[in-house]
Amino acid sequence: MSEQAIDPTALDRYECRVCGYAYEPVKGDDKQNISPGTPFAELPPTWRCPVCNAKPNAFTNIGGAGTASGFQENLGYGLGVNQMTPTQKNILIFGGLVLAFLFFMSLYGLQ
């Protein structure tokens, strides 16, 4: 059991593309004598979707429970903004003001 716990993909859930049933390794499948904690990859080839009887190759990996899709992207976006130092932010704001001022002055220059 401890060796399985090291592999983070061992408890990935798999969704049946035919009917939408999701196999959850933490729960197993008591109807077909699959004990809780059995990874999808270790299901017997005779295992079938308990809802629509589809074969295991009709299932697709939908990741572990609790990992919302897009979370990694949001994390990267947040880090990108936070990597700016306060000085860099000030330069950005002040630089913007200077550009606006120069643009304003250039309009005066045209008249």
Which residues form the interface with Zn ion (CB under 5 A)?
Answer: 16, 18-19, 21, 49, 51-52, 54
Quick one: CA dihedral 81, 83, 89, 92, positive or negative? negative
- SS3 state at 106: helix
By C-beta, is 52 or 98 nearer to Zn ion? 52
In the complex, the smallest distance separating the C-beta of residue 70 from Zn ion, rounded to whole angstroms, is 26
Shorter beta-carbon distance to Zn ion: residue 16 or 43: 16
**Cα angle: 94, vertex 96, 99; to 5 degrees:** 110
The distance of closest approach from Cβ of residue 19 to Zn ion in the complex, given in angstroms and rounded to an integer, is 3
